[in-house]
């Protein structure tokens, strides 16, 4: 399956990229599994926020083909 991953703000700086397209075996994967794949097994940093298709979710969420996953630090708007 194919998913896109986006990183914002300080997390993008730390990752060294703003987005990437992933092609994965199988037809589902959890957020944790994808994070481990893009970071070579690192844990998700504390306080990282996660969204799938622009809705907040958590590390246990299951992704399917075509989903847009995003990781970012706490929001500071307003």
Partner 1 sequence: MKVIVQQESFDPGQVIQEFQDALPRGKHGGVVSFVGTMRDFNDGEDVVSMTLEHYPGMTEKHIEQVCAEAAERWGIVDSLVVHRYGEMFPNDAIVLVAVWSAHRANAFDACRFIINYLKARAPFWKCETTTAGEKRWVEHNSKDPKAEVSDSEEVKRSA
- Residues whose CB is less than 8 angstroms from the CB of residue 35 and which lie 6 or more positions away in sequence, other chains included: 42, 44, 59, 71
Stretch that binds partner 1, among 3-11, 28-36, 38-46, 57-65 (CB under 8 A): 3-11
Phi and psi angles of residue 36, each rounded to the nearest 5 degrees, phi first: -60, -35
C-alpha 69 chain-centroid distance: 5
Q: Does 9 contact partner 1 by CB under 8 A?
A: yes
Q: Does 73 contact partner 1 by CB under 8 A?
A: yes
Q: Are strands 68-72 and 2-7 parallel, antiparallel or unpaired?
A: parallel
* Residue whose CB is less far from partner 1, 26 or 74: 74
Cα separation, 59 vs 50, in Å, equals: 7
Binding-site member from 10, 17, 20, 64 for partner 1 (CB under 8 A): 10
Chain positions 47 to 66 lying near partner 1, rule: CB under 8 A, are: 49, 51, 54, 56
Q: Where along the sequence are the contacts to partner 1 (CB under 8 A)?
A: 6, 8-10, 13, 49, 51, 54, 56, 70, 72-78
């Amino acid at each position: 399956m194919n998913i896109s991953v986006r990183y914002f703000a300080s997390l993008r700086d730390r990752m060294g990229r703003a987005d990437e397209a992933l092609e994965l075996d199988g037809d589902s994967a959890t957020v944790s599994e994808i994070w481990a794949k893009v970071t070579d097994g690192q844990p998700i940093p504390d306080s990282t926020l996660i969204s799938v298709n622009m809705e907040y979710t958590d590390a246990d969420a299951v992704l399917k083909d075509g989903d847009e996953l995003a990781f970012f630090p706490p929001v500071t708007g307003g």
